[in-house]
Structure 1
Amino acid sequence: MNTLPRLNHAALSSELFKKLADVSLTLARRGHVDAALLHLVDVRASQLNGCSFCLDMHSKQARLHGERELRLYHLAAWRESPLFNARERAALAWTEALTRLAPEGISDALYAEVREQFDEAALSDLTYQVMLINAWNRAGVAFRTLPGSLDKAYGLDKAGLA
């Protein structure tokens, strides 16, 4: 498989890229969902979507923000792992359901499970986070953005995972 980058979408659509980045920053600052959980959501969606750039970036961000390596290793099998609490499990289930929408949509059972863990504002923000990471993943996969190519610009080289 050819893994060479196709084009620089950030430069070619710079205004759109900036607006999407602004929405991402706004969500991160709102505080309805803690940053550690948002990193797990970003990593899990990126795993599902096969976006190596985003998987690389968000794993490094998670580590820089104190996430344990073992939890990152277990993320692909979070249902079987004892390392995630009920809130994290609900967020990961919501992430998977929104990332891979079933023909029947989102079940009432899943919605009820997630609502037990998140108030309305937090659930709305969590949903937007999943929407955003899926948008970023689609650009990363479509244009084959190179993993690690923006580490220095984003300070991710400090994660020591190169």
Structure 2
Amino acid sequence: MEKRINIQELEPKAYEAMFAMEKYLSTSSVDRSIQELIKIRASQINGCAYCIDLHTQEALGRGEDQRRIFALSAWKESALFTAQEKAVLQMTEEISFISRNGLTSETYDRVKEFFTDNEIAQIIMQIGTINMWNRIAVSTQLVQE
């Protein structure tokens, strides 16, 4: 791959803003396992090898089962994920593919069965943030070393 710009070096204030969002998200009341599933699934959708590698390693480090990570791209057909996790994964897909149908009422209502309004806001911010990181990494051809 060709060498491209390094946004963190060129525009450090942009990264400061992204890291500030990450700091906010670290205070989320949403379970860390769910947060990692969001990050990995969105990264799969966006084809971001850097983020898939990073967040898979983080999830494993937090005790996530390898089988669940392996099955994540086929979560709809997998019995390894709870109804709560499946609702969030559907939300992750709909927001990551926002131009298709947006976040459907059906998915939103399903997520409301499991999460408070504040947690839903946190989940939306988590999905939006990982999508932004994916776009930065894919656009700049960031590679894990």
TM-score surpassing 0.5? yes
- The aligned counterpart of 1:10 is 8
- The aligned counterpart of 2:32 is 35
Q: Which amino acid aligns with 1:108?
A: S
> Are the equivalent residues in 2 in contact too, given 1:5–1:146 (CA < 8 A)?
no
**Structure 1 residue runs of 4 or more that deviate by more than 3 Å after TM superposition:** none
SS for the counterpart of 1:126 is: helix
Q: Which amino acid aligns with 1:74?
A: A
> Are the equivalent residues in 2 in contact too, given 1:90–1:113 (CA < 8 A)?
yes
- The aligned counterpart of 1:88 is 85
What's the CA shift string for 1:94-150, capped at 9, x where partnerless? 000000014442221111111111110110000000000000000000001012x3x
- The aligned counterpart of 1:46 is 43
User: For residues 52 and 126 of structure 1, what CA distance do their matches in structure 2 show?
Assistant: 22
Q: Which amino acid aligns with 1:107?
A: T
Q: Which amino acid aligns with 1:7?
A: I
Structure 2 residue 73 is the aligned partner of structure 1 residue 76: yes
Sequence identity (%): 32
SS for the counterpart of 1:118 is: coil
For 1:135, which of 128, 132, 139 is the aligned residue?
132
Structure 2 residue 96 is the aligned partner of structure 1 residue 99: yes
- The aligned counterpart of 2:60 is 63
What's the CA shift string for 1:13-59, capped at 9, x where partnerless? 111101111211211223x2011110000000000000111111000
RMSD over aligned Cα atoms? 1.1
Which runs of 5 or more residues in structure 1 are unaligned? 150-162
With normalisation by structure 2, the TM-score equals 0.95
- The aligned counterpart of 1:111 is 108
> Are the equivalent residues in 1 in contact too, given 2:94–2:104 (CA < 8 A)?
no
- The structure whose residues are more often helix, as a share, is 2
Which runs of 5 or more residues in structure 2 are unaligned? none
The number of equivalent residue pairs is 145
> Are the equivalent residues in 2 in contact too, given 1:45–1:130 (CA < 8 A)?
yes
Q: Output aligned runs, 1:120-131, within 5 Å.
A: 120-131=117-128
